[in-house]
Amino acid sequence: MDRYAVFGHPVRHSKSPFIHTLFARQTQQQLEYGLADPEPDEFAAALRSFFAEGGKGCNITVPFKEQAFTLVDSLSPRAKLAGAINTIKLTDDGLLLGDNTDGAGLVADLKAQGIILAESRILLLGAGGAARGALAPLLAEGPRTLVIANRTHDKAAQLAQRFTSLGPIVAAQYDALTGPFDLVINSTSASLQGTLPAISPTLIHDDIAVYDMMYGVNDTAFNAWARERGARKIMDGLGMLVQQAAEAFTIWRGIRPGTAQVLRELKRNLGA
pLDDT digits (tens, 9 = 90+) for 78-108: 999 989 899 999 999 999 999 999 999 999 9
Q: Give 3-state DSSP helix, strand, coil % of the chain, rounded to 5.
A: 45, 20, 35
Query: What's the CATH architecture for 103-235?
Result: 3-Layer(aba) Sandwich (3.40)
**What dotted CATH number matches 2-99+241-270?**
3.40.50.10860
Residue 1 assigned as binding residue: no
Mean pLDDT of all residues belonging to the chain: 94
10 Å Cβ neighbour count for 254?
Answer: 9
Long-range contacts of residues 230-235, Cβ cutoff 8 Å, at least 24 apart: 230/204, 230/205, 230/206, 231/204, 231/205, 231/206, 232/206, 232/207, 232/208, 233/113, 233/115, 233/208, 233/209, 234/209, 234/210, 235/109, 235/110, 235/113, 235/209, 235/210, 235/211
Rounded to whole angstroms, the Cα distance separating 106 from 13 reads: 20
Q: Which pLDDT value is given to residue 23?
A: 98
In which order are the strands placed within the sheet that holds 2-7? 31-36, 2-7, 55-60, 87-90, 96-99, 74-75
Angle at 177 between CA 175 and CA 180, to 5 degrees: 150
Percent of the chain scored above 90 by pLDDT?
85
CB 240 within 8 A of CB 102: yes
DSSP assigned state of 199: -
CATH 3.40.50.720 residue ranges of the chain are 103-235
Q: Which pLDDT value is given to residue 272?
A: 46
Residue 155 assigned as binding residue: yes
> H or E stretch including 202?
none
pTM confidence score: 0.92
CB 40 within 8 A of CB 104: no
CATH 3.40.50.10860 residue ranges of the chain are 2-99+241-270
Residue 244 assigned as binding residue: yes
Question: Which residues are catalytically annotated?
Answer: 65
- What is the CA 258 to chain-centroid distance, rounded? 18
Rounded to whole angstroms, the Cα distance separating 212 from 226 reads: 10
Q: Which pLDDT value is given to residue 19?
A: 97
Residue 120 assigned as binding residue: no
Residue 267 assigned as binding residue: no
Residue 151 assigned as binding residue: yes
pLDDT tens digits, one per residue of 171-208: 999 999 998 999 999 999 888 788 888 899 999 999 99
